[in-house]
Amino acid sequence: MAAATRESPISGYALEVDGRLKAEFATRDGARAGGVELKRRFPMLQIRIYDAQTNAREDIQISG
């Protein structure tokens, strides 16, 4: 059984969890807030913000 692949958004931001796109956001701040909350709950996951306009990814890091 093949897993469904989620296409990269053409605008806005998305959360990438362990290499897979999971949720889309209209703003970077919204994506960052969602990513930080997820990282606090599950610190072992690799979570990144994907910027559709620049095709760039930013790691979510939390301190403390």
Tell me if 47 is assigned to some domain.
yes
Tell me if 1 is assigned to some domain.
no
> Taking Cα atoms as reference points, which of 1, 35, 30, 4 lies closest to residue 17?
35
Give the total number of structural domains in the chain.
1
pLDDT beyond 80 at 48? yes
State the number of CA atoms in the 13 A half-sphere of 5 facing the CB: 4
Tell me if 24 is assigned to some domain.
yes
Write the DSSP symbol of residue 4. Answer: P
Tell me if 64 is assigned to some domain.
no
Which region among 41-45, 48-52, 60-64 has the lowest average model confidence (pLDDT)? Answer: 60-64
Helix (H) or strand (E) run with residue 15 in it: strand 13-17
- Cβ atoms within 10 A of the Cβ of 52, count? 14
pLDDT band for position 6 (50/70/90)?
Answer: low
Tell me if 8 is assigned to some domain.
no
Tell me if 41 is assigned to some domain.
yes
Tell me if 36 is assigned to some domain.
yes
pLDDT beyond 90 at 33? yes
Domain enclosing residue 40, as ranges: 13-59
